[in-house]
Amino acid sequence: MIVCSLSRVAGLGALGLSEPADRVRLVHLRYRFRVYPTVPQRSALARTFGCVRTVFNDAVAARKAAHREGLAYPSTAVLDKLLITEAKRTPERAWLAEVSTVPLQQALRDCHAAWRNFFDSVSGKRAGGRVGPPRFKRRSHTQAARYTRRGFSVKANGRLYVAKVGDLRVAWSRELSADPSSVTIIKTATGKYYASFVVAVDDGADLLEPVADPDTETGIDLGLKAFAVLRGGKTIENPKFFAQMERRLKKAQRALSRKQRGSANRVGARLKVAKIHERIRNRRDDWLHKQVAALVGENQALYVEDLCVQGLSRGRAAKSIQDAALGRFLTLLESKAARAGRTFAKVDRLFPSTRLCSACGALTGPKGLEGLGVRVWECGCGAVHDRDGNAEINIRREGKRLVAAGLADT
């Protein structure tokens, strides 16, 4: 029932040596299945989740303390020794020895990755919205423990062996496309258990990191002013080169129109226009790929408003770079989300995401062309809304409803 094409993944390492690096690319797909642990397995998992949370929180605290004292950030290797190996010998942390070390070490890696994302976001190295520093994990939230190959295996009888927990019963709803490189056991806030496998497959796509919190999701309100507005008011601005390239293109087009038909000058001018178009496509696609990779990398579910791209340009003769980019963005996002096993839904473009009050559900928001300039509005119910933030909430809500009702395309 589970076909794991081991050879495909195992062969990639060898391939990497003989082929140019850019020819062999891996994409990480995520597969999530419901798991039904027995009562003893549930308590073993509860202990594991508790230890993972403790180690993660100890690591956050250790890094914060180092920062306060002006010391260098302790490396993961140092924290591994301090917070796992040595902590097990202390009376306060002796219980860490009752669970597998594998998810504890993964907790340190996750913490490190969270700091790195935060610093990259601050320094502008990371595309997409701003990322906050890692926060302490709480018991009330979704619980998770991640195991690398050392800590789990899929048995021939279909059970999932997890170190120091046992053989878990899994509801396999589809096939894994290859041998998984890691599994995260998740307990949701509602008490359901899931196994989330990461499978690396060869693909032309960018490498995807698994989402740390599988319940992250965002609506995406696409652009009038900004390129897109995400959950919590995070914004993807239109890059400056959109306007720059548009000016250059217009200038080259004007020059072309002035050239005599059949002249050598006209051939040269046409080539110049074509080159600018090509440059726009390349830079735009490069930028879009980065935005899409960040969005899909950070969110387990993505809900976006389907666009009537022509309607957006509102009478402008030619499609602007932004309008063309929005259409392309939707295509890239949908395919990347599908390949990464993310939940994805497009909300009908006639859905009144802007007009709907996300607090009371009345259609009191700005409407039509007259309403285009309205950034902030107040509903009769007393709620004051940022136009785009309100739309994002409505899109996310409607997307979730479509998925729950089985009406989403994917």
Which residues are near Zn ion by CB under 5 A? 357, 359-360, 362, 379, 381, 383
The residues, ordered by sequence, that sit 6+ positions from 16 with a Cβ below 8 Å of its Cβ are 24
Shortest Cβ 353–Zn ion spacing (Å) = 14
Closer residue to Zn ion (CB): 200 or 379: 379
Nearer to Zn ion, 207 or 360 (CB): 360
d(CA 216, CA 280): 33
Report the relative pairing of strands 301-305 and 343-347 from DSSP bridges.
parallel
Q: Toward Zn ion, which CB reaches closer, 281 or 397? A: 397
356 strand-pairing partners: 363
Cβ 30 vs Cβ 340: under 8 Å: yes
- Compare residues 6 and 381 and give the one whose CB is closer to Zn ion: 381
Count Cβ neighbours within 10 Å for each residue of 189-227 and write b for 16 or more, e otherwise: eeeebbbbbbbbbbbebbebebbbebeebbbbbbbbeeb
CA distance to 44, 96, 161, 173, 189, per residue, from 165 (Å): 6, 14, 8, 22, 20
Q: Tell the smallest beta-carbon distance from residue 356 to Zn ion (Å).
A: 9
Q: Which residues are bridge partners to 162 per DSSP?
A: 152, 166
The residues, any chain, with a CB within 8 Å of residue 268's CB and separated by 6 or more, are none
Nearer to Zn ion, 105 or 364 (CB): 364
Q: Which of 204, 207, 237, 394 has its CA nearest to residue 325?
A: 237
What residues have CB less than 8 Å from 327, skipping those under 6 apart? 307, 309
| C-beta closer to Zn ion: residue 45 or 357 | 357
Q: In the bound complex, what is the minimum distance in angstroms from residue 377's beta carbon to Zn ion?
A: 10
Residues with catalytic function? 221, 305, 388
Contact between 131 and 36 (Cβ < 8 Å): no
Residue at 113: amino acid letter: A
Q: Please, what is the minimum distance in Å from the beta carbon of residue 385 to Zn ion? A: 8
For the bound state, the minimum distance from the C-beta of residue 223 to Zn ion, rounded and expressed in Å, comes to 24
- Minimum distance of Zn ion from residue 378's CB (angstroms): 9
Tokens of 42: 């549930």
